[in-house]
Structure 1
Amino acid sequence: MPSALDIRLAQLAEEVKVDVLTKTQDLDNAAKIEEVSRAFMSDTITVPTKEMNAYAMRASLGDDVYFEPSTAALEAHIAQLTGKEAGLFLPSGTMSNQIALRTHLEQPPYSVVCDARSHIYRMEAGGAAFHSGANSIPIIPENDHHLTLEDIEPRVVSGTDVHVAPTRIIALENTLNGTIIPQEDVMAISEYAHSHDILMHLDGARIWHVAAETGLSMKELCDPFDSVSLCLSKGLGAPIGTCLVGSKKFITKARWFRKLFGGGMRQTGFLVGAAAYALTNNFPLLPRVHSLAKRMQQGLEELGVGILSPAETCMLFYDPAPIGVEYWEIVERASQLQNPIKINGSRLVTHIQTSPQAVEDFLGLVRTLKEEKAASGWTVADMRPQKKSVFRDVYVKAVKPTK
C-alpha cells in the first residue's frame, strides 16, 4: 500500500515532467535549417548539424568550475593557436570582452579607447561603465573604415590631471562591420600603446574571417594584443561559446571574474565538443562564405543599388534608394516569397549555412522591385534624402512608414 508521501511524490513527478519536443520535431528541425539557409540577418543564427551533435556528445563529462577535460583541451589549443599562454571558455562574446576589461582594469580612474561603432561601446549595455567603472573614449575613424594611430594618439589620456581618466586600454575590433583592419595599422597602434604602458584588447568575434581572407596566422593576428576574445558561435557555427586568451596570470584572474559574473559553467564538454567540430570542419568553409557575400555585392551593383560598405568578408551594407526602393519594401516582399527570405535592414550577412540559391533569389527580388518602380514612373528625382548617422554607421533598420 503506497504511503501518502509516495502518492504525493507521484503527483509532483507528473507536475514536474515536461516534453519540449513537438510531435514533428525532426521535420521542424529540417525546416529550421532551410529557414537559416535563407536568412541574411546574422551569422549567429546557424544551427548545429547532426554530425556536430554526434561529435559533441562524445566529449568528456566533467564540471568546468572544478576541471573539465575537453574544455581544458580546447582552451589550451586556442591559446597555443593564438600564441598566448592560457585560455578561458565563456558562454558569450559580451561576457568575454567585459571580463577582459575588468581583469585588466585594477583601480579607477581609467578609460578605454575604442571605435565609436564597436560592439564593446555600442552593443554591450554599457558594460565597461557598469562592470569596470571605466570611461569610454569612442573615436570615429577619419577614413570611415578603421581606426589608425593618427585617430587614436590625440585622444589618449595621460598624465596626472585629476580631472581626467587616464587611458589604460585600447580596444580594437576585427572584423568590424565585416571590414578588416590592415595589420600594419594594428601593429603601429600596438607599438604606440605598449610604449606608453597601455594594454591592447581585441574583440576578435570574427577574427577567423580575417585569417581566412588574408592568409595571416591566428598568432600573427593576435600577437599585438595582451588579450583576445574569439567567438566560436558566429562565423564558425558552434551553438555557443567564446574563448578568451592571454597570459596565465591574466586568465587566472579572469576565471575568478567569470565565477563572479555568473559565468561558471558545469557540464561544458558537449559545448566545447561542438566548438572543436566547428574549428575543424567549418573554418575551411569561410572562403565560400566570403564569395557569397561578394557575389551579392556584385549583383546589387549591377542593378544600380548603392553599396554603403563592401563585402570584405561575410558582410555588406547596401542602400536601395538609387533604384527607388526602400528597405521595408524589400523586407516585406522577401517574407512573402514562396520560399521566404529573412532580412531586416541595410546589413546582409552570409554564413556557413547560407544557400547560394537564396543569394540569387534575393537579387531576383531586388531586380523585380526595380522593374516595378520603373514601370510606375519612378525617377531619380523622386529619391528620398538619406540621413547619415553621427557615428558614420552603415546599419539602417527597415521601418515601414506609418500612415
Structure 2
Amino acid sequence: MASKVVDLRSDTVTKPSDAMRAAMAAAVVDDDVVGVDPTAQQFQEEMAALMGKEAALFVPSGTMGNLISVLVHCDVRGSEVILGDDSHIHVYENGGISTIGGVHPKTVRNNPDGTMDIDKIVAAIRHPDLHYPTTRLICLENTHGNCGGKCLSVEYIDKVGEIAKNHDLKLHIDGARIFNASVALGVPVDRLVKAADSVSVCLSKGLGAPVGSVIVGSKAFIDKARILRKTLGGGMRQVGVLCAAAQVAVRDTLGKLEDDHRKAKALAEGLKKIKHITVDPASVETNMVFFDITNPRISPDNLCQVLEQHNVLAMPASSKSIRFVLHYQISDSDVQYALTSVEKAIEELLK
C-alpha cells in the first residue's frame, strides 16, 4: 500500500502549499465588494497585465466566470452563443447561460483536437431575424478538457477572432487551463488570447490555488462584470485572503506546468505497455491522459474501485475509458506507483 494517496482524479484536488497558507495569513484585506481590498486590487492588476488585457476580476469559480462573461456579451435576452457541443460551458455548467441569462446555445461539433470547423462556425452565425435568436458571441475552450487537454493554436484563435470581428460578434475563451496551452505551445499567454474580448482563467487547477478564477477583458467589460458578480452572489468581501494564495500559485507554479506535461506523457507511455489498455501517447499534449479498456470483463467503474484500494484515485471518462490528470503534487514515483497499481488492478479483476 502506498504511504500516501496518488490522486489523479483532476488537477483541482491540489492542496494549498505552505507558502500559499502563509500568504493567506499575512494578506492585507478590506471590502472587495466596494472595491477597496488592496490585495485583490493588486492581484487583478497583475493578472490583467499578464493576460494583455485592460482589467481583471476575481470570481469564486470558473463556472461563474464563464457565466458572467457570456451575460456581459449577450446582454439582450434571446441572444445566441456559438460554442462546441462538447465544451465545458455547454456540458458541465448546469445550463446557466440559458436558465439564468436567457442565452440560447448554438452548438457546433467539436473535432478531436478541440477545434470547431471554421466554415461551420460561419454557417452558424445568425443575424437579426423574426424567427431566430441573434448571434452575439463565440466561445472557445483552451485547453479543451473533453478532447483530452488539447491545445487550440494561436493561428486558429486568431482566425476565429477575425470571424467574430467581421460579423460584429464577441469572442470569449474559457481558459480554465490556458496556461497549460501557453506552455505546451510555447506561445506567451497574452499573445495566445490577443484575439479574445474576454478570457476566464482558473487558478485552482494546475496552478494549485485553493479557490477561484479571474476573468479579464476591457475596462468596460469588467465594470459590467463586477455588477453581475454581485447579482450572482459572487461578491466575497475580504477576498484578498484568497487572492494572496492565487498570487503565490501564479508565481510558484507556472514554471511547473511543463513538468506536469512531461509526467503525463510518461504515464501514457507506461500505460501503453499494459495489456487490456489502449492509449495514444502522441495525443497527450498537456496534463491529461485518457485511456480505453479493451477487455469487456473490465469496466472503468470497477477498475477505479480497485485502484482506490491501492490508494490511487481516478475517474471514469466514459463507458470504456478512464481519465488521469497530472498536477505538480504528483511526483515521478507517484506516476510509477500508479502504473504498477493499474497493472495489479487489472490482474485482480481478471481473476
Structure 1-normalised TM-score?
Answer: 0.80
Measured after TM superposition, the shift of residue 184 of structure 1 is: 1.2
Measured after TM superposition, the shift of residue 359 of structure 1 is: 1.6
Distance 1:363 1:369 in 2: 10
Letter in 1 for 2:76: Q
Q: String of CA shifts for 1:35-66, please: whole Å, max 9, x gaps.
A: 3xx01111111111222111222221211012
Q: CA contact under 8 A between 1:111 and 1:169: conserved in structure 2?
A: yes
Mapped pair 1:363 → 2:339: yes
- Paired residues in the alignment total 338
Q: CA contact under 8 A between 1:148 and 1:189: conserved in structure 2?
A: no
Distance 1:342 1:372 in 2: 17
Question: Could you say which residue in structure 1 is the equivalent of 2:243?
Answer: 272
Relative to its length, the structure with more strand (as a share) is 2
Mapped pair 1:73 → 2:42: yes
Distance 2:195 2:150 in 1: 18
> Which of 314, 332, 342 is the aligned partner of 2:287?
314
Q: Give unpaired runs (5+ residues) of structure 1.
A: 1-32, 377-403
Measured after TM superposition, the shift of residue 34 of structure 1 is: 3.8
Q: String of CA shifts for 1:307-330, please: whole Å, max 9, x gaps.
A: 279321011211121596332332
- Structure 1 residues 155 and 69, CA gap change in structure 2 (3 angstroms): same
Equivalent positions of 1:75-94 (< 5 A) are 75-94=44-63
Residue 129 of structure 1 aligns to a residue whose secondary structure is helix
Q: CA contact under 8 A between 2:113 and 2:151: conserved in structure 1?
A: no
Measured after TM superposition, the shift of residue 150 of structure 1 is: 2.5
Question: Could you say which residue in structure 2 is the equivalent of 1:45?
Answer: 13
> Which of 80, 83, 97 is the aligned partner of 1:114?
83
> Which of 174, 178, 185 is the aligned partner of 2:156?
185
Whose RCO is larger (CA < 8 A, sep 6+)?
2
Distance 1:142 1:361 in 2: 33
Q: CA contact under 8 A between 1:41 and 1:349: conserved in structure 2?
A: yes
Q: CA contact under 8 A between 1:170 and 1:193: conserved in structure 2?
A: yes
Residue 26 of structure 2 aligns to a residue whose secondary structure is coil
**Residues 187-196 or 160-169, more deviating:** 160-169
Q: CA contact under 8 A between 1:232 and 1:240: conserved in structure 2?
A: yes
Q: CA contact under 8 A between 2:98 and 2:104: conserved in structure 1?
A: yes
Distance 1:153 1:143 in 2: 19
> Which of 198, 210, 214 is the aligned partner of 1:243?
214
Equivalent positions of 1:2-401 (< 5 A) are 34-35=4-5, 38-66=6-34, 67-142=36-111, 145-158=114-127, 160-177=128-145, 178-304=149-275, 305-307=277-279, 310-321=283-294, 325-337=298-310, 340-345=311-316, 346-369=322-345
Q: CA contact under 8 A between 1:86 and 1:247: conserved in structure 2?
A: yes
Aligned-residue Cα RMSD (Å) equals 1.9
Residue 279 of structure 2 aligns to a residue whose secondary structure is strand
Q: CA contact under 8 A between 2:202 and 2:213: conserved in structure 1?
A: yes
**Residues 328-337 or 166-175, more deviating:** 328-337
Measured after TM superposition, the shift of residue 373 of structure 1 is: 7.3
Letter in 1 for 2:213: T
- Structure 1 residues 62 and 301, CA gap change in structure 2 (3 angstroms): same
Distance 2:138 2:347 in 1: 48
Distance 1:272 1:316 in 2: 30
* Structure 1: 4+ residue segments shifted above 4 A: 369-374
Larger radius of gyration: 1
**Residues 140-149 or 237-246, more deviating:** 140-149
Q: Give unpaired runs (5+ residues) of structure 2.
A: 317-321
